[in-house]
Amino acid sequence: MPLLDQANIACGGHAGDLITMQETVAFAKQHKVAIGAHPSYPDFMNFGRITVDMPALELQQSIVDQVQTLQQVCISSGTQLSYVKPHGALYNDMMRDLSVMNTVMRAIVVLNSELKLMIQATPDYENHRAFANLHGIELILEAFADRSYQANGLLTPRTIEGAVLSADGAINQVHELIDSGYIRALNGSTLRFPVDTVCVHGDNPEALSVVQQIRALI
């Protein structure tokens, strides 16, 4: 936590419970780390990494319920929630399908339109910003350190070899982004887009080492 600027905290959809939320929020507050809600499809069994077919209003309410739980923990801890970043399959579906992104944005409007939404930075970022503006939502554009990219700018599915990068691969990807302003896709093409933040997955066994090295780079 001392190495982070922002922490995405699971809030019951794929992981996390009231105790883990309270402990993690307290740790984030102690180190002055911005707190983000990390809602997902309600799917503990698959860690939120498989699409759940559910009506838009039901998904919207699930997101609202998850984020509100973390929001209340933040209030009780004397701090505040800054943004929302969907997890796993919900995140990937949101990036592929504007109807899913619309559902996520509608949930944020119900919660608090001042909350920012963290989405993947892609070559389509201008359209995503325009879409968010319709809802009055500010975006945070993120790149991934430990995931590889397809030529269209989206993440390589985890079912494909090379989707998850080694520690060295992650550092090289961030280094290239900092030095040259682009990310190299698996097919060798280069992707350019503005980036506000860099993500490292906490369940990556090499996460701590990767974050330490990225912090040294920036």
What mean pLDDT do residues 141-165 have? 94
Of the CA atoms within 13 Å of residue 101, those in its CB half-sphere come to 21
Task: Mark whether 110 and 211 lie in a shared domain.
Answer: no
Task: Mark whether 93 and 175 lie in a shared domain.
Answer: no
Q: Comparing C-alpha atoms, which of 67, 83, 71, 68 is closest to residue 118?
A: 83
Percent of all residues in the chain with a pLDDT value above 70, rounded to a whole number: 100
Confidence band of 205 (pLDDT split at 50, 70, 90): confident
Could you tell me if 153 and 191 are in contact, meaning their C-beta atoms sit under 8 angstroms apart?
yes
Domain span at residue 66 reads 1-144
Task: Mark whether 137 and 154 lie in a shared domain.
Answer: no
DSSP assignment string, 35-91: EEEE---S-TTTTT-S-----HHHHHHHHHHHHHHHHHHHHHTT--EEEE---HHHH
Task: From 112, 128, 144, give the residue that closes a domain.
Answer: 144
108: left (phi over 0), alpha (psi -120 to 50) or beta: alpha
Task: Give the integer Cα–Cα distance in Å for 87 and 118.
Answer: 10
Confidence band of 124 (pLDDT split at 50, 70, 90): very high
Task: Mark whether 35 and 81 lie in a shared domain.
Answer: yes
- Positive or negative, the CA dihedral 40, 122, 108, 103 is negative
Alpha helix positions (H), 77-191 = 88-96, 98-111, 125-135, 167-180
Task: Mark whether 164 and 218 lie in a shared domain.
Answer: yes
Number of domains making up the chain: 2
**pLDDT given for residue 204 in this prediction:** 81
Task: Mark whether 140 and 159 lie in a shared domain.
Answer: no
pLDDT, tens only, 62-104: 999 999 999 999 999 999 999 999 999 999 999 999 999 999 9
Task: Mark whether 138 and 70 lie in a shared domain.
Answer: yes
pLDDT, tens only, 37-62: 999 999 999 999 999 999 999 999 99
Task: Mark whether 110 and 35 lie in a shared domain.
Answer: yes
Task: Mark whether 150 and 49 lie in a shared domain.
Answer: no
Task: Mark whether 28 and 111 lie in a shared domain.
Answer: yes
Task: Mark whether 139 and 79 lie in a shared domain.
Answer: yes
**pLDDT given for residue 174 in this prediction:** 96
Task: Mark whether 133 and 163 lie in a shared domain.
Answer: no
**pLDDT given for residue 218 in this prediction:** 83
Domain CATH for 128:
3.20.20.370
Confidence band of 217 (pLDDT split at 50, 70, 90): confident
